[in-house]
């Protein structure tokens, strides 16, 4: 039977977890007991009461339904959608024509397309550390190896560019940049991106730039972008999920910029990848121009809400003598270090779950050295304040010397 099972399946199923980790076992047990657990991990703002206005969304869909009645797909995505996204970038002083944009059903699929485009099985993609665990699964599906470069906490989570370059090998096929970064909240500076572009050109490597939190900046008005540098080839990933709180619409995009011949070759290949599946909902594609047109006021209020949540998170932890953290410059997440001797992160987050009724993650989930906790601050403000103050008080008491 064992030999038959190996013949039936690839090695992929055996590489996936088959049971819950200790934190999520504890969470399941708490929920089964009837405990109410505050989720300080989910970045889905819909779960916390933030929605694109329903009346506006209804108007948009009624407007575009007739346009999608007859199925006439475009491998790149409907031209009207790509034109709207091109105009969005023009408003940020980036000239990205519609024929260099490809629509996808979300950023995760955009990563998959890029990995498939750039790397053969066994090749390497260089990602930041800390990093989001989802990359490991996408890389596994693509048969690609992940290697890491480090963000330095003592320098505000800046990229260690010397270390990054030392990590490049003959098998490296791309460098991933996430800015604003999940989970540290750092926004990579224009100066660092310029230096990174020099490294990318020196080693003939593309940059995959994840900018899904681009609309949520706290220290600057404009996001520095690899697409604005002299990098030889850049794939910029974004979408409607975080930007307009429309995760359920499942629409993302890849913008391809850089040296013309590299861009043309990339776009041709991406067209074929997309044409194989044609996975993006047609009604959603036709809705994109109206979302940009009618969503401005909502986006402004949404940004204000996220910024207010960030301020609550910072003020709640600021006076906790046992925690230190780099204030997030963008995005939805905060990473804090527990000062003093290393603590058992699994036990700490389970204790927070049981005593504060809050779900936070241990740092090692994101490849962060001990002792850290990671959380999202997008939550209903009063719940957020009460819960984070409870966590701060608990950590002060729990980690103090006896």
Q: What is the pTM of this model?
A: 0.95
Kindly tell me if the per-residue pLDDT of 2 is higher than 70. Answer: no
Token pair of 74 as six digits: 């475009």
* CATH code at 69-294: 3.40.640.10
238/107 Cα distance (integer angstroms): 6
CA angle 139/145/190 to nearest 5° reads 80
pLDDT in tens, 124-136: 999 999 998 888 8
**Cα 150 to chain center, whole Å?**
17
Mean pLDDT of 320-342: 95
Question: What residue ranges of the chain are covered by domains with CATH 3.90.1150.10?
Answer: 20-51+298-395
**CA distances in angstroms from 326 to 18, 362, 366, listed in the order given:** 35, 17, 16
Give residue 400's pLDDT. 57
123/111 Cα distance (integer angstroms): 15
Kindly tell me if the per-residue pLDDT of 399 is higher than 70. Answer: no
Kindly tell me if the per-residue pLDDT of 152 is higher than 60. Answer: yes
DSSP structure string for 169-218: -TTEEEEEEESS-TTT-----HHHHHHHHHHHHHTT--EEEE-TTTT-BS
Give residue 8's pLDDT. 78
Task: With H, G, I as helix, E, B as strand and everything else as coil, classify residue 93.
Answer: coil
Q: How confident is the model at residue 15 (pLDDT cuts 50, 70, 90)?
A: confident
Q: How confident is the model at residue 303 (pLDDT cuts 50, 70, 90)?
A: very high
Mean pLDDT of 148-161: 98
Kindly tell me if the per-residue pLDDT of 238 is higher than 60. Answer: yes
Give residue 3's pLDDT. 60
Kindly tell me if the per-residue pLDDT of 307 is higher than 70. Answer: yes
Mean pLDDT of 176-197: 98
Q: How confident is the model at residue 13 (pLDDT cuts 50, 70, 90)?
A: confident
Mean pLDDT of 326-340: 97
Q: Are residues 148 and 127 in contact, defined by beta-carbon separation less than 8 angstroms?
A: yes
Task: With H, G, I as helix, E, B as strand and everything else as coil, classify residue 128.
Answer: strand
22/77 Cα distance (integer angstroms): 42
Kindly tell me if the per-residue pLDDT of 402 is higher than 80. Answer: no
Mean pLDDT of 242-253: 97
Q: What percent of the chain has pLDDT over 70?
A: 97
Give residue 6's pLDDT. 57
Is CATH 3.40.50.10360 the classification given to domain 20-51+298-395?
no
CA angle 130/131/133 to nearest 5° reads 130
Query: Residue 393's closest CA among 333, 310, 319?
Result: 319
Q: What is the mean pLDDT of the chain?
A: 95
Kindly tell me if the per-residue pLDDT of 206 is higher than 90. Answer: yes
Task: With H, G, I as helix, E, B as strand and everything else as coil, classify residue 159.
Answer: strand
Kindly tell me if the per-residue pLDDT of 5 is higher than 80. Answer: no
Q: How confident is the model at residue 4 (pLDDT cuts 50, 70, 90)?
A: low
> What pairing do the DSSP bridges indicate for beta strands 145-152 and 124-129?
parallel
Q: Are residues 100 and 267 in contact, defined by beta-carbon separation less than 8 angstroms?
A: yes
Mean pLDDT of 10-37: 92
pLDDT in tens, 68-114: 999 999 999 999 999 999 999 999 999 999 999 999 999 999 999 99
Give residue 1's pLDDT. 52
396/291 Cα distance (integer angstroms): 45
Mean pLDDT of 203-222: 96
DSSP H or E run through 254: strand 252-258
Question: What residue ranges of the chain are covered by domains with CATH 3.40.640.10?
Answer: 69-294
On the 0-12 / 13-18 / 19+ scale of CB atoms within 10 A, 343 is: buried
pLDDT in tens, 47-79: 999 999 999 999 999 999 999 999 999 999 999
């Amino acid at each position: 039977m064992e030999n038959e099972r190996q013949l039936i399946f690839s090695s992929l199923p055996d590489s996936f977890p088959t049971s819950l980790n200790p934190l999520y076992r504890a969470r399941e047990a708490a929920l089964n007991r009837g405990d109410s657990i505050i989720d300080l991990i989910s970045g889905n703002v819909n779960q916390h009461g933030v929605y694109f206005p329903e009346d506006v969304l209804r108007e948009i869909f009624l407007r575009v339904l007739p346009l999608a009645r007859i199925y006439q797909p475009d491998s790149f995505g409907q031209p009207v959608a790509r034109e709207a996204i091109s105009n969005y970038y023009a408003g940020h002083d980036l000239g990205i024509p519609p024929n260099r944009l490809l629509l996808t059903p979300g950023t995760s699929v955009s990563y998959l397309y890029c990995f498939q485009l750039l790397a053969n099985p066994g090749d390497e993609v260089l990602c930041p550390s800390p990093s989001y665990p989802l990359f490991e699964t996408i890389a596994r599906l693509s048969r690609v190896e992940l290697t890491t470069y480090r963000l330095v906490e003592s320098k505000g989570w800046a990229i260690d560019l010397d270390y990054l370059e030392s990590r490049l090998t003959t098998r490296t096929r791309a460098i991933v940049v996430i800015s604003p970064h999940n989970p540290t909240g750092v926004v990579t500076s224009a100066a660092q991106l310029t230096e990174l572009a020099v490294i990318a050109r020196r080693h003939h490597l593309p940059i995959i730039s994840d900018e899904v939190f681009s609309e949520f900046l706290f220290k600057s008005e404009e996001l520095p972008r690899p697409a604005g540098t002299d990098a030889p080839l850049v794939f910029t990933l974004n979408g409607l999920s975080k930007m307009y709180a429309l995760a359920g619409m499942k629409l993302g995009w890849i913008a391809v910029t850089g040296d013309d011949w590299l861009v043309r070759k990339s776009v041709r290949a991406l067209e074929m990848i997309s044409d194989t599946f044609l996975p993006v909902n047609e009604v959603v594609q036709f809705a994109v121009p109206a979302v940009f047109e009618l969503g401005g006021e909502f986006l402004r209020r949404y940004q204000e809400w996220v910024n207010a949540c960030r301020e609550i998170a910072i003020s709640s932890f600021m006076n906790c003598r046992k925690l230190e953290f780099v204030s997030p410059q963008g995005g939805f997440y905060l990473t804090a270090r527990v000062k003093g001797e290393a603590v058992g992160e699994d036990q700490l987050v389970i204790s927070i779950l049981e005593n504060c009724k809050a779900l936070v993650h241990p740092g090692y989930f994101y490849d962060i050295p001990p002792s850290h906790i990671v959380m999202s601050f997008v939550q209903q403000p009063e719940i957020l304040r009460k819960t984070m103050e409870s966590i701060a008080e608990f950590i002060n008491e729990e980690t103090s010397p006896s």
